[in-house]
Amino acid sequence: KVKEVVGRGVDLALGYGDKVYEIEPELNKRIHDLYDDAKISLWAEFTPEFVKTIPNALEITTKSQDREEYVADPASGEELSEATVATLEKLRSSWNGKNPDVQIILSDGLNAKALMDEGHVLPYLEALQKDLKAAGLSVSQKNLVVTSGRVRAGYKTGNVLYAKGDAGKAATIIHVIGERPGSGHHNFSVYIASPKAKVWQDKKVDHDIVRVISGISDTALTPEKAAAETVRLVKRINAR
């Protein structure tokens, strides 16, 4: 049973070193490996090769000028750049007043590797698109890919995209973002905001009305199960 638990990425402090107060050597190495991986993950950025794998990707940015500013000044990653606002307004205009029910956003967050790792975000997107369609929900043809994005960048995106349209219709943002590194799983989270469009238009969307699914990866909550849970939550919110 212990091997099964450890195999799922849950480290257990078993045994000790040469002296009872010393950490068991293999566990000590594991801890330092996790620390080293976290440092690499924190500074990782989406690669051009990865972005090309995202169907119909539309790249946008926040006000963070680079990764260093993103880490040092969190607020800069919550605000959209002027160029991004213009891009989103153009996307909104292309809808001709027929806003899709759902807009999907992918952000690097605090660990771009969480999305880039094989078997992570691509299976999630594939399952999500299928499940949303089965639920009768229309989805924007563009997948927004955000560089230096934090959670609130998703809310700001919704403010722009749903600024016009039927105020009484539910308008959903599904924001996929890399979680804080350190566990070794390279997990990502999904933030689900699905209020009526008027709430977006009044710019009142924040954490208090948002649902989140966390711990998603091929070694934790699987992407396929997370996709099903995402759609279940969207339907539940919209039914209120």
- Render pLDDT for 200-213 as a digit per residue (tens, 0 to 9): 999 999 999 999 99
Of 30, 26, 3, the C-alpha closest to 15 is 26
List pLDDT tens digits, range 77-107.
999 999 999 999 999 999 999 999 999 999 9
- Give the pLDDT band (50/70/90) at residue 131: very high
Question: Distances from the Cα of 235 to the Cαs of 2, 15, 192, 216, in angstroms?
Answer: 38, 48, 11, 20
The reported pLDDT for the residue numbered 36 is: 97
Give the confidence band of 53 by pLDDT, cuts at 50, 70, 90. Answer: very high
Q: How far apart are CA 220 and CA 3, in angstroms?
A: 16
Contacts of 117 (CB under 8 A, 6+ apart): 186, 217, 218
Write out pLDDT tens, residues 159-185. Answer: 999 999 899 999 999 999 999 999 989
Please give the mean pLDDT across all residues of the chain: 95
Average pLDDT over residues 140-165: 97
Q: Write out the CATH class of domain 45-238.
A: alpha beta
Q: Name the pLDDT band for 21 (thresholds 50, 70, 90).
A: confident
Average pLDDT over residues 214-223: 95
* Residue in 191, 193, 194, 192 with CA at minimum distance from that of residue 170: 194
pLDDT value of position 11: 77
In the chain, what percentage of residues exceed pLDDT 70?
Answer: 99
SS3 for 60?
A: strand
CATH 3.40.50.11240 intervals, the chain: 45-238
Give pLDDT tens digits for 34-48: 999 999 999 999 999
